[in-house]
Structure 1
Amino acid sequence: MNRVVITVRFLDDRFHGLLDRNGPPEWPPSPFRLLQSLVAGAAGRGDLVAGEDSVENYNYTKIGKALDWLQRLAPPTIVAPHSHRGQAITRFVPNNDSDNLKKLNRQERLTAKPTIPTLFLLEPDQKPEVHYVWDISNLHDVPFDSIRDAASCLTSLGWGVDMAFAYARLADQSIVESLQGVRWYPKENAWRSVGMLRTPTYDRETQECTLCDLRHCHHTAINRIEHGKPLKTVDKPKVFDRVLYTSTERPIGRPTTVFRLLDENDEIYRHPHAKLMHMAAMARHVAIERMKVDPPPWKTAEAEDWLESFVCGHRGAGEQHEQISYVPLPSIGHAHADALVRNVMLIAPLECERELEYVAQRLDGEELQAEQLVRSDGIDGYGQNSRRIFLERITPPRGKFIAEYYLGTAKVWHTVTPVILDGHNKKSKSDKTEAIARQTEKLILKALARAGIESPCEFTWQAIPYLKNCLSTHKYNRNGRHTGYHRPAHLRTHTAVHVRLNFTDPVPGPIAIGAGRHCGFGLFAIKNN
């Protein structure tokens, strides 16, 4: 049993917790809110500290010590029901100021209180439960008995009307997989404007922690009134962390930054569609050269390894690593789009916004070095171009093709550049069509998994492009001459296909899959209806 699971069972099929006083709704209920409810329940029963319940008293009971242990854990995985945002209602209630002689009329003392419920969408045999799952496989001396006692103290989660009870149990992976609901996974060190949930925190150096802060806030609340003196301020909780939670209901796109290509006259430069890999290689090359002399200060100790892995994209045998993708963006989106490359997008893994921002700031205004790249990497044909090319960082305008088709959110996506599969779909010339189709499907599933796409989807594939002025996956024409896309040497013999993805739920961009996803191949755009 390597998991601790705290299950909260609501008495009703709705939840009223908000991220702020006026919304939006908080869903799922945050780990901070769970700890807050556990602390309130234990303190209400007198089971938090031994002796007088004052902020100076740190003589915790077994339950108090268990809650202190709980706040130090990494953010849990949350399993919650499918949900739907209910109708927002504004209620007008007394403002607890009936002693105000200037407002003798009750109607003048009413204050607005918005109510935005989150409604559970339960399966026929599903209970209104939210599960919090912590991995304890590497921990020792787990105070489970006290955690179980603390869970039994919970009386509500959210507002006072969100009455609930809770219980704790030890579980293995099979039990966790059997829990009904949507899985919400924490993505530490990532940041987005939506999807951030509060989590408990503990600072070992300052000894500042969520539990101490909650007790302090409660102390200011019960001591706010003192006879003959003005009403004292009630402190709100402020010691917590914010962690991004993602799921199939709220997937998030990876962090990106976009550069426009300019020539020496500050005019838009247009790069051939078939040679987009050359543009990716040049952008990568200038990033490498820039980071060699100016690596991030927080990466100084490991600058060489970070450069080799994150910027260059080189991976050691058996290593899992994170890297930047250098993706040229063909111009698409209207009937006269020519699919030429005028922009380059850098894509980073979810938790690498800081590193991407650092690299992007230093690439703004840099010149791409074509001639040097030809000599060092042997890329054929591009060195003949004598025009100078510069990078200008931009924010993609709303309503234009980058924001709409590459970075939008939709259920149906199709390739702009073909997906280069990690292998071959044809083992011999005698392979039957059914065998080739099965192998192609297997390789596409592998490409989706390696790109980290977890949302369920159906897909189809073909050799012909879905968009005008894009190229087919054929490498040679009828005369045996090279046609189609220029590919990196290590990918020239791999199978390539154009793919259309149909997701069950809307998925945000950017989407790039396949063995060439880091250099512009396997790039998807939203299907234009």
Structure 2
Amino acid sequence: MAAHALLIEVRLLDGRYHGLGDWPPSPFRLFAALIAGAYGGRWVAEPRHDKDAAFRWLEGLRQPEIAAPRAVRSRATTIYVPNNDLDSVGGDPARIAEIRGSTKQFVPWLFEPDVPLVYAWRFEDGAGHADRIAALAERLCALGRGIDMAFARAAVVEAGVAEARLIDHGGPLFVPGGAGEGERLACPTRGSFLSLVERHAAERARFTTYREGRTTRTSFRKAPNARAVQVAYARPSTFLLFELRGTDGKFRPQPVERALALTLAVRDRLVERLSTALPEQAAHVLRYAKGDRDAPDADKALRLRVLALPSIGHAHAGLALRRLAVEIPSGCPLRVEDVTWGLSGLDLSEIDGDTGEILRDGPMLVPASDRRMLGRYATVSARRWRTVTPVALPVAARNGRRGAERLQAETLAAGRLADALRHAGRDARGTVLAVRREPFHAGGVPADRFAGDRFAAGRLAHAEIVFPQPVSGPLVLGDGRFLGLGLFAPVDEVPGILAFGLAGDAVPPALAPRLAAAARRAVMARVRDALDLRPDAGLPLFFSGHAADGAPARTGTHDHLFVAVEPGCAPRLLVIAPHRAARREATGNERNHLATLERAFCGFERLVAGRDGAFGLVPLVEPAPGDRLIGPSSAWISATAYRPTRHPKRGDDPAAFLAADIAAECAARGLPAPERIDIADLQAGPRGGLAASVRLTFAVAVAGPILLGRDAHQGGGLFLAE
């Protein structure tokens, strides 16, 4: 841990910042402004050695933490700038409109000018360099565009003093790091100082003149870009955690479907309590604790968020509500101490407003000493997330009962979920989205059970999101994100089945294997891209089904992917992991390969199958028990033709041979012996190969997926529960 910090405070004179593309002003922008002030004006002739060494030291430090004023974007202002060539119109100012040049649009950030920007660079060694930078900081005269006049003060302080200064600032705090989320700001890095020196020298020599015969010509050379690195800055929030306990001190768990009612009660009673105790801050309490649906985005970013936390992490937790968290965003005007006081000991019993009678005995909020449950939502990073409380979508979703109708409804709902991601400030690009009414977690509750006066059942849906890169929690989306709805939990398990809906017409059984073959080729091509391999490079056996020498794998253990297309009016492309087909846990190598496969499928939106056409792909949730692919069921029927693993001998009865082959396949795949095997549509190929439709009956219910036969990895022998 660094013991010292270089603390630089910058004040812009008129509370406006016109710099393009960043708020707060990036550390690299400040670095460049410090250099401009240190070497410009009357200090041009000053010895450079000590200054050069100090800035080279500064560029090597870890990126600074930043405290900024609360700012809002103003309206755009367009300025018309004439070209500086009046002589082209005979020097007549009245004709200046004829040489009007470019237009410039300004959208400045507005903030209180008395509130400074604070940058804190932490360091261990180099106190002399830090003192030198602190002295040079007083030469700063602008930050942003040339019209953004500013001045700075700097000091070298203990790390604890810098920490307190950042916290006491009161504005949003920006901390470098995280999982690639948040504001991306340019920061100095090794070589930044030299690149700025070279850029300045190149700017002075942009125009050169030369003779070409009797003509003097001017050439222009663009100056090289300065060297900087883009760093993600997060805005850390403060989380208060409370337990729901009764007067006897024991937990008073609440059903998960009461999440909305519980958070509404907490929010309204907190507002009442703080407004009574702090009447001079009543307006702020209403604005940032209760909020308004029409509030600007700047207000929403600072609003308190109440989260009812279902218990997860244990098989018997049951998703009951035992804890409640309140998120206080960085820069929120409400003090953490005041909010803590307002929530501590809050009684959530339902009371008749007229008589004062207790209608329903409720729990009490008690500050929690064990914060592990909060950590399962807030301090984790993951690519795959699933709801524990449903998302309130911006618009009610259409209901779809079955087949293509349900697929279309869930596709529209996934589009609205992408809108919810953007509204919450999350990047929806490259995500795989899936929406459904049923819960994902054991003990979960269907989405419509959370409905009430505030959100109709049609607007609520459970969701799964797979991001292209890990994102950090908490992940809370939708119109109910301030009231406990739309809370996601990370999923550590690897996917066993990746499913996509095929948009378009129904797929007949005869077409399904050809589409599966096209999909298999697409899968391998996308995996090669994900692994940055040449088009002709070999792939691991897990993806290709071939050994390192190119020969087909003959291990007999089916350790590579199954790719199939389920035919019908609502066809699905299914990519099934070998551990899922074998009903076992995934190995470490398989988990790594599946992570690669998920990355490869990001942006997989179209399947091109040659003469069979092209199909749009819609990401679907992983099939769960109750789905025809999974069962369980005692009767299974083939959706695509079954082909035996070997050819029959001359004189063998085809039906008997096929039944024996199916029984052997069931035994090899760990399935019980079928009580009955019914064969229909038996066909013999020109070379003696057999194919048939098959119905299997077991003595007990068997769970899928079931893929059997010679071409099971290429879409044949796919069985569905009857």
Q: TM-score, normalised on structure 2?
A: 0.35
- Say which structure, 1 or 2, has more relative contact order (CA 8 Å, 6+ apart): 1
Query: TM (normalized to structure 1)?
Result: 0.47
Report the structure number with the largest CA radius of gyration: 2
